[in-house]
Structure 1
């Protein structure tokens, strides 16, 4: 009985393997397949402002540096939070670090540190006015971008452009090669934001504290491009 059972099991395995081999061998060969891609681009006004404020301190010991940085940051945070409003002016801290300073003999002869505060949002006037009131930190970087709302608004338009171009290109290729139609095999959709021209630069030197205390910081946003790329393959038939 055991030998019979083994024979039946072996026979079943051989039949399954044969069926699988038969299916693999019978798989149709892919022919007349082309790869292509298309891009949709929509230009939009940047509506997100990001201001980085920072301060650097140094002293003979790390504890003193840390205390000075914390005091400066706490004062700036208190001022910024008074004007904070979700989406319009969001406030959060940036990098906070201490680093040893070495002498010519390779030994530590002091400490230095840096703390940052970030103001960002869509209300440019509120953000710049708040930055102008902060006395303990100075502006180190100004950059612009797109809010999620602005990006979502035009991303669909860019995607539609890319899809229509992809379809038109596929139909053109099929016709050019003497086929009447095509079938979509696979497709991938990717999107990204492109800022034309040079990237926002880091200020060469931090503005002196108090230089913006009587007025808001002048800023002007540019434009960005939301780009959607559609790529994939089609089989001409």
Structure 2
């Protein structure tokens, strides 16, 4: 009886092993997989200007220094708000700070503070002219960038080009290896929004603001890139 049970178990094991081997032998071989990448860049005009104006005050009375900063900011803010227009130019306050100055012995000898006003928008002429009128503040920095609409438009163009290039390369690789076609595997799309940004030198900008009613500015081009990488299975 025991020998008979062992014989049945052995036959069952051999049958399972034979079936498993048959399945492995009949399973299709994995298709050839190739990794590749493609990149496309689009040059687009910078359409957003951000200009910072600031001033500093110092003295022995912190309350007086703070009042002087507040008056300078209020005067500039009231004038700038009159010129503000949606999308064309927005106005916002920036940093406002006051800090003590110390002597060698750690004793406070005075106070120094600064305040900032930021003009931002797509109307470069309005922004530069307004900046030139703000006599209580001077231009401390300016930079160009892209609005959300401009960036999204450039990304869409670069993405379409990168995907087209990826598909072209996949087709060429398949033909080079004597395959008729391919299927997509895992693919990732990455966006690079970097690019040159105009940054006027501070000394030059201050001088321009004093000599002219407007601050001359000129936008450049920004580069928006899209990278497509992944794998394809050759068929």
Cα deviation, 1:170-226, whole Å, max 9, x if unaligned, reads 222222333322221112222232324x762551487269715x5211111111112
**Residue 225 (structure 1) aligns with:** 223
Q: 1:208 to 1:44 in 2, by over 3 A?
A: closer
Q: Secondary structure at the match of 2:206?
A: coil
Q: CA RMSD in A?
A: 2.6
Q: CA deviation at 1:152?
A: 2.4
Equivalent residue pairs, number = 211
- Whether the 8 Å CA contact 1:34–1:233 is kept in 2: the answer is yes
Deviations 1:80-123 (A, max 9, x none): 10010111001111122222212122222211111111101111
Q: 1:107, 1:47 → 2: CA distance?
A: 49
Q: If the length of structure 1 is used for normalisation, what is the TM-score?
A: 0.79
Q: Distance in 1 between matches of 2:104 and 2:70?
A: 29
Larger Rg, first or second structure (1 or 2):
2
Query: Who is 1:126 aligned against?
Result: 126
Contact between 2:101 and 2:109, CA under 8 Å: does it hold in 1?
yes
In structure 2, the CA distance between the partners of 1:219 and 1:103, relative to structure 1 (3 Å rule), is same
What's 2:77 paired with? Answer: 77
Structure 1 distance, partners of 2:181, 2:48, is: 45
The question of whether the paired residues in 2 share the 8 Å contact of 1:91 and 1:118 is answered with: yes
Is residue 109 of structure 1 aligned with residue 113 of structure 2?
no
- The 8 Å contact of residues 144 and 198 in structure 2, kept in 1 or not, is answered as no
For 1:97 and 1:185, how far apart are their aligned partners in 2?
55
**What runs of 5+ residues in structure 1 fail to find an aligned partner?**
1-21
**SS of corresponding position for 1:51:** strand
Is residue 198–residue 220 contact of structure 2 (8 Å, CA) maintained in 1?
A: no
In the TM superposition, what whole-angstrom CA distance separates every residue of 1:32-85 from its partner, at most 9, and x where no partner exists? 333222112111111111111011111213322222211111111101100101
SS across alignment from 1:226: strand
Higher helix share: 2
**Cα distance in structure 2, aligned partners of 1:124 and 1:77:** 18
- Judged with a 3 Å threshold, the aligned counterparts in structure 2 of structure 1 residues 71 and 31 are, in CA distance, closer, same or farther, namely farther
Give the direction of change, closer, same or farther, for the CA distance of 1:183–1:215 in structure 2 (3 Å limit).
same
In structure 2, the CA distance between the partners of 1:76 and 1:173, relative to structure 1 (3 Å rule), is same
* TM-score, reference length from structure 2: 0.80
Distance 1:98 1:231 in 2: 50
For 1:74-223, what aligned pairs fall within 5 Å after superposition?
Answer: 74-196=74-196, 200-204=199-203, 207=206, 211=210, 215-223=213-221
In 1, Cα distance between the equivalents of 2:204 and 2:62? 24
